[in-house]
Structure 1
């Protein structure tokens, strides 16, 4: 019977006669076997023989070996399918003792000792290697029908293959453990509740714990943020694994690390989740290096993208490796398309051949340049100046270069030529200004004086007024020409904007034409400002001309003044304006108006919307306003006209009586003595006549030496020296210095037709009293009166 895989009973085999190999054959064995069966079991039924035969057949087919021995340890049977592996046939060893079979006399040999114990009634199991094979053996007592031990029975199974598999498994486990321990990544196994039950040396080194400390540690203690632990568990329980889970972990000493966590679920023998196993890699330095690399890349991209032109990099195969965003924006190609293009794809015709030659030149000679048209995706062409230089990047020869938009450069060249033209006009005007202004002084003053002598009804008066107005227009034209090249001498003073508007009103009406209505709304008691009256006139005239050009079909031009108390709220909305008191000048028109884009550029030099405009008018207005400490704002919409508001800071003090008299058109009288030095006869005679007619005593000299002689011979006081700046022998400055020694306290007024700053600053000097030719009788009288009435303010 087979019971739990173990043989518990077989028919009894009595020990046969001693079998000597080669003497007794298997037939005799069978006869003896049958005889024994007859002697001891004559009463058995015939079926017992059949059962015995079936059992033997079964045992012959068993995958192992079965044998029996008698009490002398002599084989009485051996059978089993594994015998051929030992080179044996069934029952071939019958009659041999165990000592003979194993070739030993040692009773303690493991198989022999096991059989001896069986004879004593004890079972034994052992593993035994024999002839390079491994056997798992089991031996137990063999009892007769009376229960007495008559021998031993054993079974053996060849475990060589299983042993090899076991050894391979053990070797695999050793290799796995070695890899586990030697891995540079921190490896761990934890339970479902987070207890760390296995780990390698890298795990200890990474976190700084001893083995004892790590064995007592919970995984939660390694997390910097508990939320990361929860996120890890949710992800691994949902997907069965986590890959490259980025997390911040904490070492024993509190150092925070950036780590990558890879983990899978661990299952027990019942298929239930028992915990996690995984690997941890410290990527702190890698991430820091990555951040540094990203910052450098971002900086590089930002630097190339901030370039005003194009940037590009390509290799010898023509592959575009790098470019800035301007190339995408200007050409209309996407980054994906540019990556598939070559540099030649951006050019056509002769320009393409030029670029092809330039690329070859760059790779052969190291650098190249070209001026060609870049072709956009929509077919548009943009002129560019291209540069290229050979570089070697990671062993790869490449060309790196930039390109500058020639449209802007050509526009600037045009502006430069225009500026040079204006400079030439200014120099020409400055060169003839002295003589021209002398002529205008005589025409303007004489016509005004003659007109003043005639009654309003006299028809000749109107003719003289026309002459005077023509001279004024000529003087204005001279100032405009000089302003282009900054040749005007600027003399700020406290004045009223109302006075400037009143003075210009008649001229403006002629300037804008009959189709445009001119209206003025002037604030009474307007706060005074400190500015150069000539500059203010220039502002109003330029704005008036700008308004006139915006109303080709006619319209309305209005000039307004007003007092403005600017508070903090208004100033914040009109940065960089500051709070305070201002006098406001506004020029409004009912013309075509401007869109927001045009308003962005109206104050830039050379910007114009007119086909023949210079683009200097409004830029000059802006510059004058800024030089005067003021602010200008433009308000306009297409079809709604335009309004320019200018705010000048309120001056400390009031407008002088002279200023008021000038606005009223009168000449204040005087009784003082004036020494007049002027080498231009007509101007000298005119100035003498103007001053004498309003009460002054005038001493007249043609040159500086004559003026000095006249001063020495004059016994009375001389209150004012009125001198031309440029004269033969001694100039006006030298004359003034000598007279100041001879007559301390004498006041000085310079007059000149010259306009060059360098000439005037070198002679007159900053801060001195100056009157520009041409001047009117009122202007001369007012200036003289101003100096004599305020000697404490007059510069010497």
Structure 2
């Protein structure tokens, strides 16, 4: 039996050795007091293996025991021998490295039948690793507990079943119960609100099933009854294998932060409101300042204009008074009349400058040679600038052409030259130069523009312009001269003319070194000048010519009517465009020329010209205006334009040029205007029919039979009827039976009507 038990003990010892938990084994024969140890025991404690097998005394064995643990070890051994049975004791021993380690001795004292102790076998177990792991675990628990308690807000952990396994003080405060009342319990066990508990547990199950954490803002009722806002974060807990065995969560009371954010938002809104009010006040102040500046500028303008006009009126009034004196000699009469004419021209030039800076002048662009025109202007400039100024002119190597208003071009060059004269104090040199430019440079913050341009520069060596004034020199009313000495419209006229003509103007200046102004205008091909007609000489009688005058101003209308009658024309004067249109429709062969003002009550001159050109393209049209934004924006649509103020000679030349384009001996024009006017207002569903009918009527017209169709007024005006003669208006409601047989004729031209 003893042998069997000894064998079992050896097997258990071998298993323990294989597991690495046993340091060694011993066998103590108590009858012979022989203490033997195995090789592992001997190796750990530095005892020769042979001595271990031969036997040691107890004193030799416990030599390596920590001095503080020897007495307790001896007492435990003696107690076990006296009592018999199992033995277990923990103590420290010194190993070969000189360090003390904790071990545990497990053994059993076997006695004989007579109760005498016979044998004492046992093993030594290594407790150091176990103690280290336990100590580390204890430290980790203490650290986790410390962190949980130190973390503000709520910190908790739950197992897979939703039971609370850890929580800090914040959790207890939020729940309103002690940890003993909720640790190991689910939310359904310790929360008083079943719905709230079910909601929380459902969220917990979802997080543990999906493995995805959540962060939400939620309102929670505190034990005090108040409602607070918490930011809650919950994440699954995983072991080393990645398996979820619970969850951990934190909640922070963000009520104060939320309130602060709302307060900050409200504060920002109040501040924004105040900023808006301040901006509005500033804009109001800026508007008031601009208004004050505008009034100051207007005062400056009125002062300069009033000064100039008073001078002009003085000359005119004085000359008229002198002309009324009886017995005036012919020389003096001619002198005073010339003075009146010159003064009127100066007044017209002044009003032209006023319109130019506002870009509201009606330009009459025409192609002309720049160098040739400048040579003529230089002669005039020489008399304007005075004998102390020398003007050098350098033209381009070859003649260049522009398409612009010639008189406004001359005025622009004159203004630049006068400014240059003032800059050099009336003594010095002014240089004019022309060349071809491959585009506009970057001017006043605008990007460069490609294209063909003609550049004309006016340079001086005068006082120059300060840098802080360069941005303002083209502004209306800007001038450095004293009030009454200038209107500040010179450079504004140049700027407005350049812009309205499709060009621009630049300036380079250095104080004390002079300034160079460069005017850029779009270049025109030379071929546009070759075909220009010369002025028509009026050699024939006007007795057969009839002019319809449309002028709402009684004085001007009477004046124009009287001049044209004196020139031999038959005239008819009306004050409204609608009345003029009705007269032409009633008697289309009566008038050769329509002379109309642009700005009138009701229908204006532009609209009248549109309608007459569409219905009576052979009728000559002449417009007159001193100012019209329509003309400035849209142009004159290839119509003749006579600028106000105009003289009797101006009106005579314009009338002569107009009626010279048609001859009374040409009966075709009158015959075409005499044909039956047929109206046709094509609706959308009738447009195809209108096109085919129009084609047929056009071919009839070409054959000398009838007119052709305009499909709606807008289409006809846009197409301009391609310069064709009379376009008949046709209306289905007035289309009589005899015309219907003509419809099959549309097949002659097919779909070619759109190409006309």
Category of TM-score, reference length = shorter chain? 0.3 to 0.5
What TM-score results when the alignment is normalised by the length of structure 2?
0.42
Higher helix share: 2
